[in-house]
Amino acid sequence: MKKYLCLIFVICGLKAAAQQHSNELEKLEIKKKKLEIKKLELEIKEQKLSLRHEKNEWSKTYLDRSKFFLSFGMGGSIPLQHSTNSLIDNLVINNQGFYIQFLSATLFLHKNWGVELSVKMNPGVTTYPYDTVYGYKTPFNNHLQALYGDRYFVSSTEFNWQAGPNVTLMAGPVYKMIKGRFMFMPKLLFGMNTVGFNEGYAYLKEKNGNEIIDKSFIPVSSNKTSFAISPGFSASYRFSKKWAANIDVNYYRSAVSNTYTELTRSYKTQTSSTSTISESVVNQWVNIGAGISLLIK
């Protein structure tokens, strides 16, 4: 009987000891977990602090500001085509001289691909004098010289106060390449170009004779709108969080046709005659300009 009682006491003692030990282990585990939570909390705090620091100093790359931007700029237009024996080629008012890019909006829908819409204008094409500033009169005179120079002394003038400025409205895909603060953007734009046409006047004096002929070439439309295609290239440098400086080079090609009314008055016979000339011309020019961009996002 004593043996049983002793055995029961021993078992109870062992149980109590085991329970005490397990309680101590649980307490240790809880302490460990608490320490881990504190560590995590500290890490989160550190991360929050680092994020705040990054927000205060803007990213020096183009990456986070290259999804949508508006550009403004100006520059010069250089016509590429040479005058030919075509009348209209010598009377069309090319895109040349100073140009203004009122607006160019670029939106990137994909990591590298986006669309651009741009509006440009050559305001100075209707200013005088054409020959000294834009060299219109000389090729027109050469054209008339080739036609009538054998029999007549030729002098000519041309102008058109009705022709407005040449306006170019283009849209198309663009592709961007970013390297640090630089962005390079080839593009292919399509759209329309309004082009003006000069009136041409010629005075023909007969060689070895008294005959005088006045000729006038009046365009049926002073302005026409034509389809244009323009591959181009832009290079940008982001100099602040929201602003970048651009350089743009764009080639343009546009075909347009028009009809001219040719009025011929011969003073020797005191007669007048009228005819029409319908021709087309391919305008080609290069715009080289610079501007700034507002980087919205």
Partner 1 sequence: MIGTVQACCNCADEIFYQFKVNKVEVSNLDNSGIVPVPTQGDTVNKKAYCLGIIMTTTKVALQKNAVPNLFVQTASAQVDCFCGGGFYGQMADTLLSLRIYTVNDFDSTHRAGAEINSYFFSDGRYPLAANGLFNQPLYSYDFASPSYVYNYMLMHEPQFSSLCQFKVEVDFSNRKYELLTKPINLL
Stretch that binds partner 1, among 91-99, 103-111, 199-207, 253-261 (CB under 8 A): 199-207
Asked if residues 152 and 192 have their Cβ atoms less than 8 Å apart, the reply is no
Q: Which residue in the set 115, 147, 169, 212 belongs to the binding site for partner 1 (CB under 8 A)?
A: 212
Task: In angstroms, give the least distance from the CB of 145 to partner 1.
Answer: 13
Burial class (CB in 10 A: 0-12, 13-18, 19+), 11: exposed
Q: Which residue in the set 74, 98, 159, 211 belongs to the binding site for partner 1 (CB under 8 A)?
A: 211
Task: In angstroms, give the least distance from the CB of 151 to partner 1.
Answer: 12
DSSP assignment, residue 37? Answer: H
Interacting positions 263-292 with partner 1 (CB under 8 A): 267-268, 270
Give the C-alpha distances (Å, rounded to integers) separating 132 from 136, 137, 141: 8, 9, 14
Give the separation between CA 161 and CA 159, rounded to whole angstroms: 7
Asked if residues 101 and 71 have their Cβ atoms less than 8 Å apart, the reply is yes
Give the separation between CA 169 and CA 46, rounded to whole angstroms: 52
Task: In angstroms, give the least distance from the CB of 209 to partner 1.
Answer: 4
Q: Which is nearer to partner 1, 13 or 209 (CB)?
A: 209
Task: In angstroms, give the least distance from the CB of 272 to partner 1.
Answer: 13
Q: Which is nearer to partner 1, 155 or 226 (CB)?
A: 155
Q: Which residue in the set 205, 224, 242, 253 belongs to the binding site for partner 1 (CB under 8 A)?
A: 205
Beta strands in the chain (DSSP E): 68-79, 92-93, 97-108, 113-122, 152-159, 166-175, 177-179, 182-197, 199-206, 212-219, 223-238, 243-266, 271-295
Specify the residue for token string 């027109």.
Answer: 140
Q: Which residue in the set 24, 184, 209, 272 belongs to the binding site for partner 1 (CB under 8 A)?
A: 209
Q: Which is nearer to partner 1, 211 or 279 (CB)?
A: 211
Q: Which residue in the set 206, 225, 263, 264 belongs to the binding site for partner 1 (CB under 8 A)?
A: 206
Q: Which is nearer to partner 1, 207 or 241 (CB)?
A: 207
Of the candidates 230, 111, 236, 232, the residue with the CA atom closest to the CA atom of residue 184: 236
Interacting positions 129-168 with partner 1 (CB under 8 A): 153
128 near partner 1, rule: CB under 8 A: no
CA angle 119/162/79 to nearest 5° reads: 50
Q: Which is nearer to partner 1, 134 or 203 (CB)?
A: 203
Specify the residue for token string 């009705």.
Answer: 162
Residues within the interface to partner 1 (CB under 8 A): 153, 205-212, 267-268, 270
